[in-house]
Structure 1
Amino acid sequence: MAMFVHLTSAANAPRIRRSGIRAASHGQGGARGVYCFPVLPSYTLTHQWLRELARFGSRGGLVAVHVRLDDDQHVLVGRYSDRRRDAQSTVPAAEAVRRIASLDDPRGWEVFVPRAIRPREVHRVRTAPQLVGWRYRPDAHGVRPCTCFGCRVRGEYGGRRLRERLPHPEDGPPPPVRVLLARVTAAGDPGDPVVLREALHWFGMRRRGPLAQLTHLAAHPHPGVREDLVWAVARWSTPGVAELLDGLADDPHPDVREAVEAIREP
């Protein structure tokens, strides 16, 4: 039997003891399952993901769930960066443990079980120190943090001060709403697509926005403007976003329709 550790919020511990671990994570190729890591002789390496996962918030801290899997259970193994390239390997659980244990530096590696973990496979649930492991990526300490839109974490502690101190040339911090609306108005009617798409790029970095002042762009003759409008309002909590996207879902241009479908995929 191969032993792995799964890190999760302490609030999930009672449910895990009762029902196991749900297949709530998305892995390579969109598969649903559970992320874990082999139990190695090094305590620090075994729990290396703890500080990185803690950045995204947890109720009551994180706990370590020890899981026993059959040696023949097929899992995906590889570095976290391999997931984006669909380059992780499918191997038996025992081989995944052997492969990671033989590495000189297993930091950043992960194991993905493409199914839920059954209650009988949960060996134990215990508390874990909250200051173990790396953050952002291995060897990130001493490296200038990236403040681009893809790397930032919304609501992260100190994130706003970091973006103000180290502004990204393309990703912010974004101009104030009044400045962006002035650019949209100055673009004319129907509006210069270059100016409008740049403004929508900045609007897409906000949690809420002036939806009423941008709704008319859904009828803009340039499909790129309509597509960027979809991406700009996709994460807004402003009332009326769903109705706007319903209209754009029937847009005559396929790129706009595909953008709506992409943001609505579970």
Structure 2
Amino acid sequence: MAMFVHLTSAASTPRMRRSGIRAASHGQDGARGVYCFPVLPSYVLTHQWLRELARFGGGSGGGLVAVHVRLDDEQPVLVGHYADRARSSQAAVRAAEAVRRVAALDDPRGWEVFVPRAIRPREIHRVRAAPQVAGWRYRPDAHGTPPCTCYGCRIRGGYGARRLRERMPHPLDGPPPPARVLLARIAAAGDDPAALREALHWFGMRRRGPLDQLTRLAAHPDPTVREDLVWAVARWSTPGVTNLLDTLATDPDPDVREAVEAVRDAG
């Protein structure tokens, strides 16, 4: 039998003991299952994911616990580095082989095992308290490396996130200039598509904006400006966004119409 550890909120302990671990996580290609990691001789490596999971609020309501799971050696699983998940290149192996592969690595940090089903109650070996400070955050070897403040890396609403972005602004992802500065740039740009698109890029990072002063761009002769207008205002909570998108949904340019369709499908 192969032994793995699954880290989860302590508040879930009674439910797990009663009905097992739900297949609530999404693996590569959208599969649903449970993430875990082999129990290795190294206590720190076994619990390496703890700080990263806690960073996303997984430990709220009593912290995280370590759930030891015992699976049949022949259980099909996926094993690989977390970065391989997006490329759908994690290997499909048996549970025992997954343990062997991870244990043989010189540096198993960032590796994971995905069980493509729920964990049954009888497969839970034990639940115990876990150290709340073990493991890495952001990525292995991130300590001592300046954090990235790009849109893809930053955690919206995270502790100190706003101060970090102000101290280390990203050249493309902000923080965006104030609305009055962007409006001044648009007024000075005239009909220059490049300048208008740059201002719309920054407007797209805001939650609200002066929609009435941007509506005229829906009639701009350059379709790339109209398309960027769609992406800029799509997530705004400002009244009138729906009406503007309705207008752009009938735009003569197919790229503009596709942009409206994409933002509505995402919403």
Work out whether the TM-score is over 0.5: yes
CA displacement 1:71-109 (0-9 Å, x = unmatched) = 222111111111222221111111111100111110011
Match of 2:96 in 1: 94
* d(CA) in 2 for partners of 1:2, 1:261: 44
CA distance, structure 2, for counterparts of residue 35 and residue 249 of structure 1:
41
Alignment partner, residue 253 of structure 1: 254
Superposition CA RMSD, Å: 2.9
One-letter amino acid of the counterpart of residue 14, structure 1? P
The aligned residue for residue 55 of structure 2 is: 55
Range with bigger deviation, 58-67 or 216-225: 216-225
Residue ranges of structure 1 left out of the alignment (5+ in a row):
none
Q: How does the TM-score come out when normalised to structure 2?
A: 0.83
Shift of 1:3: 1.7
Q: Quote the offset at 1:261 in angstroms.
A: 3.7
Structure 2 spans left out of the alignment, 5+ residues: none
Q: What are the Cα deviations for residues 173-220 of structure 1, in whole angstroms up to 9, with x where unaligned?
A: 2111222233344444xx5432232223223333x1126334555565
Letter in 1 for 2:106: D
The alignment-based identity, stated in percent, is 76
Given the alignment of the two structures, is residue 202 of structure 1 paired with residue 202 of structure 2, yes or no? yes
Kept after mapping to 1: 8 A contact 2:52/2:135: yes
Distance 1:236 1:175 in 2: 16
Letter in 2 for 1:8: T
**Quick check: 222-231 or 107-116, which moved more?**
222-231
Match for residue 150 of structure 1 among 135, 149, 152: 152
Residues 109 and 174 of structure 1: is their aligned pair in 2 closer, same or farther, counting only changes over 3 Å?
same
Letter in 2 for 1:205: M
The superposition leaves residues 145-199 of structure 1 with CA deviations (integer Å, 9 ceiling, x where unpaired) of: 21222111111111222222222222222111222233344444xx543223222
* 1:209/1:70 CA distance change after superposition, 3 Å: same
Matches within 5 A, 1:64-79: 64-79=66-81
Give the TM-score normalised by the residue count of structure 1: 0.83
User: Which stretch of the first structure deviates more once superposed, 51-60 or 90-99?
Assistant: 51-60
In the TM superposition, residue 237 of structure 1 has moved relative to its aligned partner by 5.2
d(CA) in 2 for partners of 1:159 and 1:236?
21
The residue aligned with 1:44 is 44
Mapped partners of 2:18, 2:219: distance in 1: 52
